[in-house]
Amino acid sequence: MKQPTESPRACVIGHITVRDAEKWAEYRRQVPATLSAWGGELVFRGRKISVMSGEHAHAETVVLQFPDARSLDGWFQSPAYQALIPLREQAADVVLIGYES
């Protein structure tokens, strides 16, 4: 009997340079409420202490994990998250990259 295959989990890695700390704090406060409907969770949030190889311009990184790529895309495209993008763009330079794991 063939076993059902699981979809690979999906992660978003965000590289961040904050320009407005107050607006960034407001954005960060609101993001968690957008994750739960999609099974998303915060895995890691940290500030760069060194670059050991190559170049990396951003000071902060965040990692979010989702059950699968469909959930990741659903979260990003959701009205709840889309409503936060203008605030994010005012607050920081952010590169978001989706990965399967």
Report the pLDDT value the prediction gives residue 4, as an integer from 0 to 100: 56
Mark residue 62 as left, alpha or beta (left: phi above 0; alpha: psi -120 to 50; beta: remaining).
beta
**What is the assigned CATH class of domain 10-100?**
alpha beta
Q: pLDDT band at 7, cuts 50/70/90?
A: confident
Task: Spell out the domain ranges in the chain.
Answer: 10-100
Reported as a single tens digit per residue, the pLDDT across 46-65 is: 999 999 999 999 999 999 99
pLDDT at 2 over 80: no
Report the pLDDT value the prediction gives residue 5, as an integer from 0 to 100: 67
Report the pLDDT value the prediction gives residue 3, as an integer from 0 to 100: 52
The candidate with the shortest Cα–Cα distance to 71, out of 43, 37, 42, 31, is 37
Contact 87, 27 (CB under 8 A): yes
27 token code pair: 């954005």
The predicted model scores a pTM of: 0.88
> Residue 62 carries which side chain, given as an amino acid letter?
V
